[in-house]
Amino acid sequence: MNLTTQRRIAADLLKCGFYRVWIDPEFIEDVQMAISREDIRELINEGKIKKRPEKGISRFNAKINHARKQRGLARGIGKRKGTKHSIVPTKTNWINTIRPIRMKLKELRNTGELSAHNYRILYKRAKGGMFQNVKNLVRYIEENKMRN
């Protein structure tokens, strides 16, 4: 009951892969008797040999993983590809650091806790990357007695 030749010819006629050829189990004898391409073509027209539908790639798991990432899960170190700066760019890190520092400086200047002169000095130092965060900035101001 070797149908490899028939399956190969059918695959060629149906323009599909060898394993996508479906042969009706009730008509195996008929298929076995078919030798020529013409015989196989007749069996295809009769519906005894068909082409199986293509298997698609399921997006089910991808959708689940995407939803988990949206909630902040599955984002650990083991899931990251690329360098530290390809995940969060250096510029974005800088923006996230400098904005709160500058906002704090403006707030201290507007409330009168910092003089305009000290504000300008600290602003330039912040721009130079002297302060890692707001807490660091406030500690520096306290230690150097820059408050009015």
pLDDT of 22 reads 97
Same domain, 92 and 44: no
Residue 1: is its pLDDT beyond 80?
no
Same domain, 93 and 46: no
64 is a domain residue? no
62 is a domain residue? no
Q: What is the mean pLDDT of residues 78-84?
A: 90
- Count CA atoms within 13 Å of residue 36 on its CB side: 3
The mean pLDDT of the chain is: 96
122 is a domain residue? yes
DSSP state of 115: -
60 is a domain residue? no
pLDDT of 34 reads 95
99 is a domain residue? yes
Give the number of domains in the chain: 2
**pLDDT band of 87, cuts 50, 70, 90:** confident
Same domain, 94 and 137: yes
Residue 84: is its pLDDT beyond 90?
no
Q: What is the mean pLDDT of residues 114-141?
A: 97
Same domain, 136 and 92: yes
- Domain with 34 in it: 4-51
Q: b/e string for 47-59 if b means 16 or more Cβ within 10 A? A: ebbebeeeeeeee
**pLDDT band of 70, cuts 50, 70, 90:** very high
65 is a domain residue? no
**118: CATH:** 1.10.1200.60
Give the whole-angstrom CA distance, residue 124 versus residue 73.
39
**44: CATH:** 1.10.1650.10
112 is a domain residue? yes
pLDDT of 56 reads 92
45 is a domain residue? yes
Q: The pTM is what?
A: 0.53
Q: What is the mean pLDDT of residues 111-127?
A: 97
